[in-house]
Structure 1
Amino acid sequence: MPSFDVVSEVDLAEVDNAVQNVAREISVRYDFKNSKSSLEHKDGVLTVFADDDLKLKQMHEIIRGQLHKRGIEPGMLDEQTVEPAAGMSVRQKIVIKQGLEKELAKKIVKDIKSAKMKVQVAIQGEELRVTGKKRDDLQGAIQFIKDLGLDQPVQFKNFRD
Structure 2
Amino acid sequence: MPSFDIVNQIDLQEVDNAVNNVKKELATRFDFRNVPTELDLNKKDKKIDLVTGDDMKVQAIRDLLISHFTRRKVDHRVMEFGDTEPTSKGQLKQSIKLVEGIDKDTAKMIVKMIKDSKLKVQASIQDDQVRVNGKKIDDLQAVIQLLRDAKLELPLQYVNMKS
TM-score, length basis structure 1: 0.97
Q: What's 1:21 paired with?
A: 21
The answer on 1:98 being equivalent to 2:109 is no
Identity %: 38
Distance in 1, matches of 2:147 and 2:4, equals 12
How far off its partner does 1:95 sit? 0.4
The count of aligned residue pairs is 161
Distance in 2, matches of 1:21 and 1:70, equals 10
Q: What's 1:115 paired with?
A: 117
Distance in 2, matches of 1:37 and 1:61, equals 15
> Structure 1: which 5+ runs fail to align?
none
Runs of 4+ in structure 1 deviating by more than 4 angstroms, as ranges, are none
Q: What's 1:73 paired with?
A: 75
How far off its partner does 1:149 sit? 1.1
TM-score, length basis structure 2: 0.96
> Structure 2: which 5+ runs fail to align?
none
Distance in 2, matches of 1:109 and 1:61, equals 33
Distance in 1, matches of 2:88 and 2:30, equals 23
Q: What's 1:33 paired with?
A: 33
Distance in 2, matches of 1:27 and 1:86, equals 23
How far off its partner does 1:72 sit? 1.4
